[in-house]
Amino acid sequence: MSGSGETITQKPETETTSQAPLKEPTRIYSGIQPTGEIHIGNYLGAIANWVKMIPRYDCIFCVVDYHAITIEYDPSVMQSAILDTAMIGMACGLDPDRCTFFIQSHVTETIELAWVFNTVTSFGALERMTQFKDKSAQHAENINTGLFTYPVLQTADILGVRADAVPVGEDQAQHLELAREIARRFNYLYGPTFPEPRTLLSPTPRVMGLDGQSKMSKSRGNYISMKDDGDTIRKKLSTAFTDPQRLRRSDPGNPDVCNIFTLHNAFSGPDEVAMIDTECRKAGIGCVDCKKMLARNLETTLAPIQDKYHSLVQRPGDVKDALSAGARRVRALTQETMTDVRRNLGLRDRNDP
């Protein structure tokens, strides 16, 4: 990515190799949780990739507030967190004039579809979900049914709008395989109703936190927020983990194992990345120098996004109107889906009981 903050240069999104080539046009669906600060890991791993898809696909994006309440949260800040997440998304390029952007809980038909999908999803399939095991370990005092059936609601989100493909990170790929299984099972039992959504794996690998130990996340405090100013970025980077074998300034480094260099690949221009790679290996530059360059490029990249965000904060009515329009479109799509689902299930039409 150039230091100008305009675009991220990444490889195109890739399908999993076991799937057939995508047929155009394709409807894309994906969502982001309103839990905590949106950070550069969310941006690189999801949002920036979604923005690139908008000209190519019919894109539907969602603030997944129902998913967010499956773990402990503060109800007093949830409403503001939902709106703030939407504003950050729009500031990053999820333009509601070019894609559909809405709040999950504003389309209640999805919950009805999730109940239907519960009846064709085996208990064993949900038990095998790795993310449920991980979340259960992290939230041992609140292992609830919603957390267990999270992938079923996720499937309803996707298939309610009959999305053909879903851009996700590797940690969500297992959920997408389950979504395909649910679609196949329903189609087998009740007739052709749903597409089998393809997985579009993010071209950006998992973004590690500044501690170098785990995925970047607000709960671990190892993140750079999309709203951090230059001073905050420099302060956070000053203590960030680098090459563990480089103990002195005069020691040659190994960029291949340095998380700071990984971030340079995303936020710095190719010439600067090449220079850092060369100079680090021969101790031509130190970690302090490297961090200063990254801080400058991060600040340059985030500045226009932050300007747009602050503009949206001053116009909350416009943001709410855009989200309402998105929900109306998704509600219409999901109502159409549910009409077919009820008919195929043999249920009576609610307009002709």
Do 240 and 320 belong together in one domain?
Answer: no
Cα separation, 58 vs 51, in Å, equals: 12
Do 245 and 194 belong together in one domain?
Answer: no
| 350 located within any domain | no
Phi-psi sector, 162: left (phi>0), alpha (psi -120 to 50), beta: left
Gyration radius from the chain CA atoms = 22
Considering the candidates 11, 23, 52, 218, report the single residue annotated as catalytic.
218
Do 44 and 138 belong together in one domain?
Answer: yes
Residue showing tokens 């992290």: 138
For 67, residues 6+ apart whose C-beta sits below 8 A from its C-beta are 31, 33, 104, 150, 153, 154
Do 50 and 130 belong together in one domain?
Answer: yes
Encode the chain (353 residues) as per-residue pLDDT tens digits.
333 333 333 333 444 434 445 465 489 999 999 977 899 999 998 999 999 999 999 999 999 999 998 888 888 999 999 999 999 999 999 999 999 999 999 999 999 999 999 999 999 888 887 775 666 666 667 677 878 888 999 999 999 999 999 998 777 788 899 999 999 999 999 999 999 999 888 777 678 889 888 888 887 889 999 999 999 999 999 988 887 777 677 677 778 888 888 899 999 999 999 998 898 888 888 888 999 999 999 999 999 999 999 999 999 999 999 999 999 999 999 999 999 999 999 998 887 77
DSSP assignment of 264-310, as one string?
Answer: HHHHS-HHHHHHHHHHHHTTSS-HHHHHHHHHHHHHHHHHHHHHHHH
Do 249 and 132 belong together in one domain?
Answer: no
Q: Would residue 215 show up in a list of annotated catalytic residues for this protein? A: yes
> What count of residues does the chain have?
353
Do 140 and 84 belong together in one domain?
Answer: yes
Cα separation, 207 vs 321, in Å, equals: 33
Domain that holds residue 276: 230-312
Do 176 and 44 belong together in one domain?
Answer: yes
Q: Would residue 135 show up in a list of annotated catalytic residues for this protein? A: yes
Instruction: Answer for the pair 32, 42: CB distance below 8 angstroms, yes or no.
Output: yes
Do 159 and 250 belong together in one domain?
Answer: no
* 37 HSE (CA, 13 A, CB side): 16
Q: Would residue 11 show up in a list of annotated catalytic residues for this protein? A: no
| 2 located within any domain | no
| 213 located within any domain | no
CATH of residue 99's domain is: 3.40.50.620
| 305 located within any domain | yes
- Residue 158 CB coordination number (10 Å): 30
| 225 located within any domain | no
Instruction: Answer for the pair 331, 60: CB distance below 8 angstroms, yes or no.
Output: no
| 195 located within any domain | yes
Do 29 and 177 belong together in one domain?
Answer: yes
Residue 174 identity: Q
Q: pTM for the full model?
A: 0.87
Considering the candidates 11, 23, 133, 215, report the single residue annotated as catalytic.
215
Do 153 and 203 belong together in one domain?
Answer: yes
| 28 located within any domain | yes
What's the domain count of the chain?
2
| 353 located within any domain | no
Do 37 and 100 belong together in one domain?
Answer: yes
CATH of residue 297's domain is: 1.10.240.10
Instruction: Say what the alpha-carbon torsion angle 210, 213, 214, 218 is, to the nearest 10 degrees.
Output: -40
Do 169 and 40 belong together in one domain?
Answer: yes
Instruction: Answer for the pair 186, 117: CB distance below 8 angstroms, yes or no.
Output: yes
